[in-house]
Copies of this chain bind each other. A is one copy, B any other.
Amino acid sequence: MNVQLLNKKEAIFESTLKLINEHGFHGTPMSQIAAHANVATGTIYHYFNSKDELILELFKYCREKTNEHIFNFDEDLVYKDRFFYIWNRLVDYYLTHKETFWFIEQFYSSPYYELIKQKKTTYYGVDKMYLFFEEGIKSGIIRNVSFYTLISVYIGSATSHVKMVTYGFCKMQSKSREDLIEIIWNGVKNQ
């Protein structure tokens, strides 16, 4: 465990991530998080006011890390290539950071998300996706449908795929992946 090498706050984040994945929000006491991160229980309260705040901050931390990864591409690529690239980067990131993926999923479908939703701060990732789809529509490459329709099909398929793979249902990963983004592209492109 190289958790010790990170700074205390990140160690707490990483330990929380791991333990919540194994035992859920309710099944991971602060004392266990502290033990796993090699800090005292009280130390967590130096960085976070409560368990809820810790989980909220961890969610933002995970979301940022994910966004940093997927929007890191060559601007010169043609639209279709970027369409495939971003999707594949997202799937890659989630498959190599399954704990992040499942934590985000768990968070989104829990009552915690209500707390974030209130603050209508448009965050980096959504903005980026919006601009990307807008570009595709304006240039006539993809169909003129609402942003949320595009997000549903683009992100929805990616997360479903990751779920299938991590559940162990999906045998031929790479073939399925290629088929899947191909299907989305076919459905979304104009004509």
Contacts and interface: CB of A to CB of B under 8 A. Distances in A.
B167 A117 contact: yes
Nearest to A183: B187
Contacts of A156: 156-157, 159-161
A106 to B, nearest CB: 5
Copies in the complex: 2
Contacts of A159: 156, 160
Query: What is the size category of the interface that chain A forms with chain B?
Result: 35 or more
**Secondary structure at chain A's binding surface: helix, strand, loop or mixed?**
helix
A152 B164 contact: yes
B24 A183 contact: no
Contacts of A26: 24-26
B22 A111 contact: yes
A187 B18 CA distance: 37
Contact of A24 (B21, B111, B151, B163): B111
Interface in A135-191: 143, 145-146, 148-149, 151-153, 155-157, 159-161, 163-164, 167-172, 175-176, 179-180, 182-188
Interface of A: 21-27, 102, 105-106, 108-112, 117, 143, 145-146, 148-149, 151-153, 155-157, 159-161, 163-164, 167-172, 175-176, 179-180, 182-188
Given A145-B180, A156-B157, 9 more contacts: A24-B111, A25-B25, A146-B176, A153-B183, A153-B184, A156-B156, A156-B160, A156-B161, A182-B187
